[in-house]
A and B are shown apart, each in its own frame.
Chain A
Amino acid sequence: MRSYPRKGILLEQNKEPGLSKEIRILPALPVERSELPGPVSSTPDLLAPYEIVSIAKEANIVDEIDGRRLWKKLAQAARESVSGIVVDALDDEPYISSQLAPTLQFPEQLHQGLRLALRAIGASKSSIEIYRNLFDLDTRIPSSIMGVKVDRISGSYPAESYARRRMQRNSTLVVGACALLFLQRAVYEGLRQTSAFVTVTGDCVANPGNYEVPLGVSAGALLEAVGLITNPKRVVAGGSMTGFSLTDPSTVYLSQTTRGLLAFAEEFQDMGYACLGCGRCTEACPQGLSPYFIYKVMQSHRKHHIELADADLCIGCGSCSYVCPAKLDLAQVMAQAAAYTHRRQTSGGQP
């Protein structure tokens, strides 16, 4: 068990009831089967590495964690001869369980996909990483899935980005769990990736859960198909901490990297609070920055302290905005400060 950011925040996960429900395909949005040309291999365990990579290329599989094509990642890893694969099923953002649910519900397929990927890059070590602080959960996280060790990460919120950075330093390939499932389907059933796993939840959604949704469906159509209780005031594509909110859900289309769709009934209200200087953002920042200090410096006219604050190290996790009791948009300020610092550095001290 590992614990990643020494600081950071503990969040209520709100993954239920979505996580313990079965993953469904909506009748209103059927997933089309698109078969690969050529026969399905009857002995997938005997495929050569280059064959697996070419099937991944043909099947058009995209890794959901970074949006890169799976075959490129596999080919690069094979060239660089990495030592193993880490399956990313962390899902540390509240509400989202679109990697965790498939991992727990299709363990056999995931294991087959993992074996294929390992053979494709010629590596042997593998593990699955799952975020552990899921205290409001009905589901238990097993300690191994089909004999593959599960690393339970017990950190605070931005565990995912830290886990990924550490794994990249250790020269392992990080692959999303859903991408491996689609690799298994491509090899064993000869199917292209035409769908993605999406968590649809929020307090407006009548039937929250994880759904397998065809690619290219609009967010509005998906919400409609899942069912809404009331008209949402906020619709968010992506995670609850880092996703972006939509002005018009009917014009935004789902891709392989859309891991969640959240619909909330309430808008945030501007309470008119001013910064108290409580320093909670400084305590929360996993990078050890001081959003308070950066906020104050960005507000003032004399910005010579900004280089001291290292705003360019911000990873954009949003923890500072989350904890702020004055409800200030600190994450935005941090992004502006990072851009300002960059301009200042490139122009030799002058903004």
Chain B
Amino acid sequence: MKLRTQNPPHIRSRESNLTMMTDIVIATLPLYAMAVYYYGTRALLLGGFGVIVSSLADGACQLLAGKIPNIRDLSGAVTGLLIPLLLPASAGYSMILLAALFGIAVAKQPFGGMGQNIFNPAAAGTAFAMICWPKSAFAYPIPFERLPAMVDDTVRLVSSPAYSLSLGGTPNIDLLDMLLGNVPGPMGGTNILVLLTCLIFLIVRKTVGLAMPAAFLGGASLMALLTPRVDAPALTAVAYELMSGLLVIGAVFLINDPVTSPKRTLPKIFYGFGTGALSVAFRHIGRYEESFLFALLVMNATVWIIDVWGEHLAHAMRRKNREFKTNPPVSEPAEQDVGAAQK
């Protein structure tokens, strides 16, 4: 009997890359359901188009790099699912196409593909599309008006609450409507309640942790509280800032991208808090009404530095603990021994 040897451990957890990616795909499905409810079946067409383009681009880039595309790797499909959710439901197919191609072929694969990219592909692609078509990327259809498959000039497009906020005015929209997503806005970014449910699903499945989204929303709230843009009661202003634009969908999907986020808890909190604060700060100085994606990309670039800094911190903590264990302080030796033993 000849057997192949394997390194320990000889049992493995059932979770795999595939299950993690499937979790994210499952979490986007309620958002697509809501989008169909508000805007009609065009939402599904956009999603399907995004998935096909990104998956094909992902596979083609891998073939070009001399690798065999892995069918279990759903990361390209996830990028394709997220891009339409960040754009208006009236976005043209060319916009999705360019966003997906930029995300995969510029932001992801040249860095080495899956797991090696510095910038989140969905965020980079969408930000690129926003720069290319600033007008149509920030003009949104009205909920409950069915969109045709091909959007033409007959479709009524309006601005989102984020635009009125950027002009310094209070949006004339009920907060409950904003919570339910009954406002013009990015296709998946307006359904705050559904998004929070998706977040709870992902946290319960342990696909994402609580630290980063919480720190992110905390950082954004604090920044909004300190630098109010609108003349409203402080908490109302914070609620408007949080619920407009892409902050909540970012807290669920983009900030939690495992590839482009730090690994230890304290760096995670730092990164989340920094991204949140920076997104709101960029709203003051940026040209666009929604600047979360740009803040995210800026913070993505610092992740490795944050990680190394986190390792420095952990290293220093270990050194301190070890010194304490090997040379406990001389006073009260008995008690110190017990304390060291429990460490």
Q: Which residues of A contact B (CB under 8 A)?
A: 9, 11, 94-95, 166, 169-170, 220, 231-236, 240-250, 262, 264, 267-268, 271-279, 282, 288-290, 292-293, 305, 308-310, 313, 318, 321-327, 329, 331-332
Contact = CB atoms under 8 A, between A and B. Distances in A.
Contact of A268 (B12, B13, B262): B12
A246 B263 contact: no
A245 B310 CA distance: 36
A327 B263 contact: no
B5 A247 contact: yes
Nearest to B11: A240
B1 A325 contact: no
Interface string B53-94: 000000000000000101011000000000000000000000
Given A247-B5, A276-B115, A277-B259, 9 more contacts: A220-B1, A262-B10, A273-B16, A277-B263, A279-B263, A279-B264, A321-B12, A325-B20, A331-B9
Interface stretch (B42-50, B148-156, B192-200, B311-319): B311-319
Contact of A170 (B9, B10, B68, B341): B341
Contacts of B167: none
A245 B6 contact: yes
B2 to A, nearest CB: 6
28 contacts: A11-B11, A235-B3, A240-B9, A245-B3, A245-B7, A248-B3, A271-B16, A271-B17, A271-B18, A271-B70, A271-B72, A272-B70, A273-B18, A274-B73, A274-B115, A276-B20, A282-B263, A282-B264, A289-B314, A290-B311, A293-B263, A309-B315, A310-B318, A321-B8, A321-B9, A322-B12, A325-B19, A329-B7
A234 B6 contact: yes
A256 to B, nearest CB: 20
B7 A264 contact: no
B16 to A, nearest CB: 5
B180 interface: no
Nearest to B72: A271
B232 interface: no
A327 B12 contact: yes
A290 B318 contact: no
Contacts of A233: 3-4
Contacts of A234: 3-4, 6, 10
A273 B258 contact: no
A226 to B, nearest CB: 15
A332 B113 CA distance: 24
B168 to A, nearest CB: 40
B308 A241 contact: no
Contacts of A329: 7
B17 A322 contact: no
Q: Which 10 A-B pairs have the closest CB atoms?
A: A279-B263, A318-B9, A278-B258, A274-B115, A241-B9, A273-B17, A274-B114, A282-B263, A245-B5, A275-B115
B8 A231 contact: no
B258 A277 contact: yes
B174 interface: no
A166 B341 CA distance: 6
B335 interface: no
Contacts of B259: 276-277
A271 B260 CA distance: 22
A218 B58 CA distance: 51
B332 interface: no
Contacts of A318: 8-9
Of A169, A247, A278, A332, chain B has the most CB atoms within 10 Å of the CB of A278
A341 B258 CA distance: 28
Contact of B7 (A324, A325, A331): A331
A44 B124 CA distance: 79
Contacts of B310: 290
A243 B9 CA distance: 7
B4 A267 contact: yes
Contacts of B307: 293
Of B20, B116, B261, B311, chain A has the most CB atoms within 10 Å of the CB of B311
A11 B14 CA distance: 11
Nearest to A321: B9
B263 A292 contact: yes
Nearest to B3: A247
A217 to B, nearest CB: 16
B15 interface: yes
A305 to B, nearest CB: 6
A313 to B, nearest CB: 7
Given A276-B114, A279-B263, A293-B307, A323 B3 contact: no
B204 to A, nearest CB: 16
A9 B114 CA distance: 26
Interface string B100-134: 00000000000001111000000000000000000
Nearest to A282: B263
A317 B178 CA distance: 49
B16 A325 contact: yes
A249 B1 contact: yes
Nearest to A246: B3
